[in-house]
Chains A and B, each alone.
Chain A
Amino acid sequence: MARDLAEAARAARTPAPPRRALLLRVLPTGLYAGRARVLLERSALANRRAWLTLLGGFFEPLFFLFALGVGFGRLVSQVTGPDGHPMSYVAFVAPALLAASAMNGAVYDATFNIFFKYRYAKLYDAMLATPLGPVDIAVGEISWALLRGGTYAAGFLLVMAGGGLISSPWGLLALPVALLEAFAFAAVGMAATSYMRSWQDFDLVQLALIPMFLFSTTFFPLSVFPRPLQLVVECFPLYHAVEMLRGLTTGWVTPAMLGHAAYFAVMAVAGSVVAAHRFGRLLLR
Chain B
Amino acid sequence: MVAATVRDVTDVCPLVKAAGLVKRFGPVEAVRGIDVEVRRGEAFGFLGPNGAGKSSTMRMIGCVSPRSGGELTVLGMDPDTDGARIRARLGVVPQEDNLDTELTVRQNLQVYGRYFGLSRAHLRAKAAELLEFAQLTDRADDEVDPLSGGMKRRLTIARSLVNDPDLLLLDEPTTGLDPQARHLLWDRLFRLKQSGVTLIITTHYMDEAEQLCDRLVVMNEGRIAAEGSPAELISRYSTREVLELRFPPGEQPPVEPFMDGMAERVEALPDRLLFYTADGEATLAAAHGKGLRPVSTLVRRSTLEDVFLHLTGRSLVE
Contacts and interface: CB of A to CB of B under 8 A. Distances in A.
A19 to B, nearest CB: 12
B87 A130 contact: yes
Interface stretch (A29-37, A141-149, A158-166, A187-195): A29-37
Q: Which of B84, B114, B118 has the most CB of A within 10 A?
A: B84
A284 B25 CA distance: 12
Contacts of B129: none
Given A42-B111, A126-B98, A131-B84, A10 B164 contact: yes
B interface residue count range (under 10 / 10 to 19 / 20 to 34 / 35 or more):
35 or more
A147 B62 CA distance: 33
B81 A41 contact: no
B84 A33 contact: yes
A131 B116 CA distance: 6
Residue among B85, B114, B163, B164 having the largest count of chain A Cβ atoms under 10 Å: B114
B112 interface: yes
Contact of A283 (B64, B107, B115, B118): B64
Nearest to B122: A13
Contact of B114 (A28, A29, A38, A128): A38
Nearest to B23: A285
B102 A125 contact: no
Contacts of A122: 96, 98
A127 to B, nearest CB: 6
B152 to A, nearest CB: 13
Nearest to A125: B98
A30 B114 contact: no
Contacts, number: 90
A10 B117 CA distance: 13
A278 B242 CA distance: 54
B292 to A, nearest CB: 52
B103 interface: yes
Contacts of A38: 111, 114-115, 117
Contacts of B84: 29-30, 33, 131, 133
B76 interface: no
B118 A15 contact: yes
Interface string A192-210: 0000000000000000000
Contacts of A5: none
A42 to B, nearest CB: 5
Interface in B94-122: 94, 96, 98-103, 107, 111-112, 114-119, 122
B66 interface: yes
Given A13-B118, A131-B117, A123 B64 contact: no
B7 interface: yes
B294 interface: no
A46 interface: yes
A29 B85 contact: yes
A30 B92 contact: no
Interface in A115-136: 121-123, 125-133
A41 B98 contact: no
B119 to A, nearest CB: 7
A224 interface: no
Contacts of B116: 15, 130-131
B111 A45 contact: yes
A18 interface: yes
B83 interface: yes
Given A42-B114, A46-B102, A15 B119 contact: yes
B102 A121 contact: yes
Contacts of A30: 80-84
Interface in B247-266: none
A42 B96 contact: no
A177 B227 CA distance: 63
Contacts of B135: none
A234 interface: no
A83 interface: no
A49 to B, nearest CB: 9
B66 A131 contact: no
A7 interface: yes
A42 B100 contact: yes
Interface string A222-250: 00000000000000000000000000000
Interface string A266-284: 0000000000000000011
A17 to B, nearest CB: 9
Given A29-B84, A126-B112, 14 more contacts: A15-B117, A28-B81, A33-B84, A41-B114, A45-B107, A122-B96, A122-B98, A129-B90, A129-B94, A130-B87, A130-B112, A130-B163, A133-B83, A284-B65
11 contacts: A3-B7, A35-B114, A38-B111, A121-B102, A128-B64, A129-B94, A130-B115, A131-B85, A131-B115, A131-B117, A132-B115
